[in-house]
Amino acid sequence: NVVGNLRKTLSLFLQAVPEDVSVEELERRIVSIKKVRTTHHTHVWSLDGLNHVLTCHVVVEDDTAPSDVIQIKRDIAQLCKELPLEHTTFEIEYESEACGMRAG
């Protein structure tokens, strides 16, 4: 069907969130990890309709030790293995750390 193919192609060009990924559910699961306060700038898009990419800023409590950050990254990686994500990038920020990207 031409219309269906055009819709899929436009979604790729517009970097729309793939239908098989729920950003809200993903963020909820990340925030449920110990020491994680919130997330922002979460973006999921598809490279080709099958291989999806995720980027996200993860804000942790100020008293989070480096060893805890390593565990948080492992926990997030495990979470992502359960989803159709080909590549993920996470930026870890502390609560008191200003993120210049928050506005907008």
Alpha helices (runs of H) in 1-104, residue ranges in sequence order: 2-13, 23-31, 66-81
10-residue averages of pLDDT along the chain (104 residues): 58 56 90 96 84 92 97 94 89 88 51
> How is residue 47 annotated by DSSP?
S
Per-residue pLDDT at 98? 74
Q: Domains, the chain, ranges and CATH?
A: 2-94 (3.30.70.1350)
Please compute, for residue 48, the number of CA atoms within 13 A of its CA located in the half-sphere on the CB side: 4
Q: Cβ(22)–Cβ(52) under 8 Å?
A: no
What type of residue sits at position 37? Answer: R
Residues written for the chain: 104
